[in-house]
Structure 1
Amino acid sequence: MSLQHRPFSAILDSLADEAPDEEAILFVDRGVWTWRDVRREARCQAAALQQLGVGQGDYVLSWMPNCPTSVATLFALSYLGAIYVPINTAYRGAMLAHVIRTAEARLMIVHAGLFDRLEEIDTGPLEDVIVVGERPGVSTNFTIHAAEALEGDADALIPPARAVEDWDTQMVIFTSGTTGPSKAVLTSYRHARSAALGFRHVGPGDRNLTAMPLYHVGGIYGLFWAMFHRGSAVIADGFSTAAFWCIVRRYGITTTGLLGSMVDFLNALPPDPGEKNHSLQTAVIAPYGVAAMQFAKRYGVRVYTEFNMSELAVPLFCGPDPAVVGTCGLPSPGTQLRLVDAFDEEVADGAVGELIVRMDVPWTTSHGYLNDDRATASTWRNGWFHTGDMFRRDAQGHYHFVDRAKDAIRRRGENISSFEVENALMSFPGVVEAAAIGVPAPDGAEQEVMAILKVHEPQAFDPATLIAFLEKEIAHFMIPRFVRLVDQFPRTPTQKIEKHRLRAEGVTPRTWDRETAGIKIRRAKLQAL
């Protein structure tokens, strides 16, 4: 059996035995782990969690930034057959409570800087919370443990009662709920492996820069690329335009993934005579357009592109350096794709239809949504996974994204549920009705969030007060940039708000802009661990 197709814990063991001193995980400004170190840290944490009662099939919440502890947790749980459930560090309030309630987890690992948010909500089944960082006081809701509780005896680790199989759930990734609460994507070991290997810009020995968070598949797959290709991963705490090329040169990065907004920022850097003097060889960029082509030419990097979702395993991919502007790729091997109408009937060549997907090999896509049978049945209907995204296929077979059939907003790599934004807006005093939509960002960085409101007293309404209220209720990236008041909403004959008309109207002269008002929203900085 090849290294890539062994159980995840067996892959780690093989790497630690065969390449114990090779650099595996490098934390920017925080040290280096060899493969021997990765196994030791993972097994020690696994033994500690086992002592706390975590066993095969249990869900474990990880509410942590990118750091050694969160990396160890991801790998540790594979030794137990337990399930990794990462939480976006921006979550708070009702969204956080929804995640905890859906996962039904008994144990959470949390950064000390996030702990206070737990005291503000119903934590449901949580019994044990391990706090990494300065330990807070006593809680009446659960037992608090210091970070030392994660330091176990690797030799005392007991293997799972049965072998971990390819179809067992490895992790649960929360993704945008679009028209409802965020959904919990069940990901099997085979699905995770297939998705990671579906990014074909990575090869043996590559060193990838992982700047995406470990609650996002883009961050998790960076670690898996290192493992499957016997390469290495450099873990950064987020993307920084100013630091990007410094990190590439300092650590000898050979490959990375970039979102469209990141490419725009890097292309806007002042020209530098030595800007092609670096180790970066390949990058996967989505979406793929003129900016990606300019990046490839300017910096001398081979560029690939793709279309993927947390539920899928890279059904579209192409490169290097596609000549087709706007392509999302060509069908990946082992993938069946159709473009269909509302009744799942295939549309004519060149017409726009919803992309639906199925795979030749079972368990290579998600097997459903945790504790949400209705969403599972709706999305996997008629034997196909329905992406909710509208595409067209050109004469050369390239697929082009057209629009979202689902009601989601895309802002700088984050899928934002309009449902959850609207719930928060409706909890603000004086709001009668609310709609959240995505509008084109002035700088071209995908979309910005707009709140359109009907309020009791328009003359007394203060948008800045609304924004201050939302900062305590929802993630920073979900907070609207634009706020607009209306007397009435356009509606369908069945009285649903016609969001397509609101999107067509966009930013009007009377729309309030918090950027113009001087209000900047940034993610909370957590202390490095």
Structure 2
Amino acid sequence: MDIAYIDANDTTRKLSAHGVRTLVRQLTCGFNHHGLVGRDTVCMINFNDINYTAAYLGTIGAGGCFTGANPCYNARELTHHVRIIAAKFILTELETLDISIAAAREFGIPDSNIFVLNFRNETIPTNHRSWNALLEHGDQDWIEVKDLSTPAAYVSTCETTGLPKAAIIPHSYLTSQAAIIEKQLLAKEGISYLVAIPPFHMFTAPVQHALPLRNNMTIYTLPRFDENSFMNAIETFKITRTIAVPPILLTLSKYPASRPQSLQQVLVGGSPFPLGIQEQMYSKLLPQARITIGDGMTEDGSGAFWKEKRKDTTGNIGQLLPGSKTRVADREGNVLTKENVFGEVHIYNPLAMKGYLNNKSATDQAFALDNWIHANDISHTRDKNWSAVGRSKDWIKVRGWQVSPVQIEAALMEHPNILDVGVIGIPAPDGCGESPMAFVVVEKGSSVDADQIKLFLETRLARYKNVEEVCFVEQIPRNPAGKILRRVLRDMREAEEPTPDQTAAREYAAALQQINLYEKLKGSESNSTAVSSRVVGSEEEAATSKKRKSCSTSQFWPWRKMRILSTS
């Protein structure tokens, strides 16, 4: 009997493809018995498990819409997720039961519609139902969907911009995505995958929920990424392939070359993947092994680009996948036709998301007038190969130059003592534009300091791309896909005590406000005396101060030098 899913932490727990089919039929019957009708939504809050696929397909088979919530959410975040997808049922593991109950009560979901996923026969609190209650009503065929544009899932997206939205994923999206990725990965019998990232993410879903059932492959699951468990599983089960986000690859690249020797392919996606990490990882793999990079986003059909099967040393993100079209536009939306010109990526895929659930404004912003999706990525193409350099909204405006934080992060990751890094833009000390700031995770016991990091960057990037500030942290906040949560970094920075440079910048900004106030009131003779005494002593001083506002090169540096001297 072919085994489709095995628990890497407990190999006595396993499921065959036939076993998954049986569970899907039972869940289809059970959900319908408990009142699932139409496109009711089932929200699952659970770390990865061998039963996840059955719950995913069982919900869709019953005619409902599946949504997976991040089990690391707090009560407030989960309540937001439950509200925007209008959940009717909640499936939750014991670890997240309390916040699930809180979210359910906030939204009016009765306790009878909450099912506890006690997959290991854990004892559950009284007055709560086990998920086994869904399996006690016999079985039935799943619903046959005739209109493939019918929604099948709601996927949380765009956490990097604030509160997540729910992308509407139709059946056509899921089936086409599975078929394309099956072909790109050359899926075949005998391959084993190790999966330790969220199975509700659209990067993971086709690999975990489709390939094992269609190709007699085996998925080893870990509830979440733990480097010791991950490396032990690769060695113990001779794992041939894994799917990962860049932080996992960063961890793998630090291990001796003898450990990941069975790996033949590493599929990477979810966030930008610096070339430096790729080179480190290749040094630990066998010569025939390949790192395959998928790039795209939930909205566009996921995986609009895919690295060719050859070994890449350029750091690009590959070529366009079948069925997708891509173009580059300038800030005004004008399409750029020349190669090697930077601009915002627009993607067209007839099988993409249908929009954001109950959010017309966000949907309209996501799509251009001709139904192309704004990827919000800055990219360029050369010889049909695409290279991404960052998110358009994350770019830092330094003295008129657009600076990509991803480029700075990639350069910093080449430092031997840096484990992870996140870069944001902060107000420049002179009050004109922005400067880069780096949040850095270093190896334990490392003595590297901020000045050394800046000197390191000087050898790799232009001076204006160097960081103004360095903050040492224990970890970089990321979402389940591995994308850096820059808004969290900005909040962290704002919560810190101001440095002398920050204080100087704020003083300068306050002075500019006073000058503006003076200019507005200057024409009023009745107020001129009061204003002059409150702001500046004379018109000559005001004129001198006003010139500073332009931040010309000739005046910027003397002023900054004076500020440094005054705060030293």
CA distance in 2, matches of 1:342, 1:269: 43
Do structure 1's residue 49 and structure 2's residue 27 form an aligned pair?
no
Aligned runs of 1:285-434 on 2, under 5 Å? 285-286=268-269, 287=273, 289-300=275-286, 301-313=289-301, 314-347=303-336, 348-359=338-349, 362=350, 364-382=351-369, 383-394=371-382, 396-406=383-393
Aligned to 2:173: 191
CA separation of 1:372/1:174 partners in 2, compared to 1, >3 Å: closer, same or farther? same
Quote the Cα distance in structure 1 between the aligned partners of 2:353 and 2:28: 25
Q: Deviations over 1:294-316 (max 9, x none)?
A: 32343112222121211223111
| Contact 1:62–1:86 (CA under 8 A) maintained in structure 2 | yes
Equivalence for 2:533 = none
Q: Name the SS of the counterpart of 2:358 in structure 1.
A: coil
Q: For residue 343 of structure 2, what is the amino acid of its counterpart? A: G
Q: Distance in 2 between matches of 1:58 and 1:231?
A: 32
Residue 148 (structure 1) shift:
2.9
Distance 1:245 1:94, change over 3 A: closer
1:274-301 alpha-carbon deviations (Å, 9 max, x no partner): x4642x2212234251322332343112
Q: Give a deviation string over 1:301-335, Cα, whole Å, max 9, x none.
A: 22221212112231111222443422011111221
Would you say the 8 A contact 1:339–1:355 is kept in 2? yes
Higher relative contact order at CA 8 Å, sep ≥6: structure 1 or structure 2? 1
Match status 1:74 vs 2:56 = yes
Cα contact 1:335–1:357 (8 A) shared by 2: yes
CA offsets 1:176-215 (integer angstroms, 9 cap, x no match): 2444420111111221233334431241223222111123
Contact 1:42 1:72 in 2 (8 A): yes
Structure 1 CA distance for aligned equivalents of residues 142 and 389 of structure 2: 48
**Cα distance in 1, alignment partners of residues 150 and 358 from structure 2:** 16
CA distance in 2, matches of 1:371, 1:288: 36
Task: Work out whether residues 290 and 325 of structure 1, in 8 Å CA contact, stay in contact via their aligned partners in 2.
Answer: no
Of 19, 25, 28, the residue aligned with 2:5 is 25
C-alpha distance in 2, partners of 1:258/1:307? 13
2:251 to 265, 268, 271: 265
The one-letter amino acid of 1:52's match is H
- Find the aligned partners of 1:438 and 1:61 in 2 and give their Cα distance: 38
Q: What is the rounded CA distance, in whole Å, between the counterparts of 1:56 and 1:231 in structure 2?
A: 33
Write out per-residue CA displacement over residues 26-52 of structure 1, whole angstroms, 9 at most, x where no aligned residue. 122331111111111222222221111
Cα distance in structure 2, aligned partners of 1:243 and 1:68: 16
Contact 1:106–1:125 (Cα < 8 Å) also in 2: no
> Superposition pairs for residues 101-120 of structure 1, below 5 Å?
101-120=83-102
Counterpart Cα distance in 1 of 2:204 and 2:305: 19
Q: In structure 2, what is the equivalent of residue 221 of structure 1? A: 206
Q: Is the counterpart of residue 174 in structure 1 residue 156 in structure 2? A: yes
- Say if 1:244 and 1:356 are closer, same or farther in 2 by CA, change over 3 A: same
Give the 3-state SS of the residue equivalent to 2:331 in structure 1.
Answer: coil
Contact 1:288 1:327 (C-alpha < 8 Å) held by counterparts:
no
1:168 CA displacement: 1.8
Per-residue deviation at 1:349? 2.9
1: CA distance, partners of 2:283 / 2:59: 42
Q: Give 1:137 deviation, angstroms.
A: 5.5
1:246 equivalent in alignment to 2:232? yes
In 2, are the aligned partners of 1:104 and 1:125 still within 8 Å (CA)? no
In 1, the alpha carbon distance for the partners of 2:260 and 2:252 equals 13
One-letter code aligned to 1:441: V
Gaps of 5+ in 2: 396-404, 414-421, 425-435, 444-473, 478-483, 513-568
What's the secondary structure of 2:393's corresponding residue? coil
Residue deviations 1:58-82, cap 9 Å, x none? 1111111112443321121232121
CA gap 1:292/1:72 in 2 versus in 1, 3 angstroms? same
Q: Deviations over 1:113-150 (max 9, x none)?
A: 21222454553142321123443356xxxxx4233322
Residue of 5, 26, 47 corresponding to 1:65: 47
CA distance in 2, matches of 1:443, 1:260: 17
Question: Residue 440 of structure 2 aligns with which residue?
Answer: 441
Question: Is 1:232 paired with 2:215?
Answer: no
Q: d(CA) in 2 for partners of 1:131 and 1:339?
A: 47
**C-alpha distance in structure 2 between counterparts of 1:228 and 1:258, whole Å:** 21
* In the alignment, structure 1 residue 99 sits paired with structure 2 residue 86: no
Q: Structure 1: give runs of 5+ residues left out of the alignment.
A: 1-20, 139-143, 419-436, 445-466, 471-476, 494-529
Give the Cα separation in 2 of the matches to 1:218 and 1:59: 21
Structure in which a larger fraction of residues adopt helix: 2
Amino acid in structure 2 at the alignment position of 1:391: S
Q: In the alignment, is the contact (CA less than 8 A) between 2:124 and 2:130 conserved in 1?
A: yes
Q: 1:163 to 1:179 in 2, by over 3 A?
A: closer
Q: Distance in 2 between matches of 1:269 and 1:159?
A: 45
Cα 1:114–1:207, aligned 2, differ >3 Å: closer, same or farther?
same
- SS of equivalent residue, structure 2 residue 300: coil
TM-score normalised to the size of structure 2? 0.65
User: 2:125 matched to which residue of 1?
Assistant: 136
Identity level (%): 17
Residue 381 of structure 1 aligns to a residue whose secondary structure is coil
Partner of 1:424: none
Instruction: Point out the more displaced range, 43-52 or 246-255.
Output: 246-255
For 1:90 and 1:60, locate their aligned partners in 2 and report how far apart those are by CA, in whole Å.
18
Q: In 2 relative to 1, CA 36–228 (structure 1 residues): closer, same or farther, beyond 3 Å? A: closer
298-307 or 58-67: bigger deviation = 298-307
Distance 1:443 1:257 in 2: 25
Cα separation, 2, equivalents of 1:306 and 1:159: 32
- Secondary structure of the residue that 1:107 maps to in structure 2? strand
- Alpha-carbon deviation of 1:381? 1.8
Shift of the alpha carbon at 1:438?
Answer: 8.2
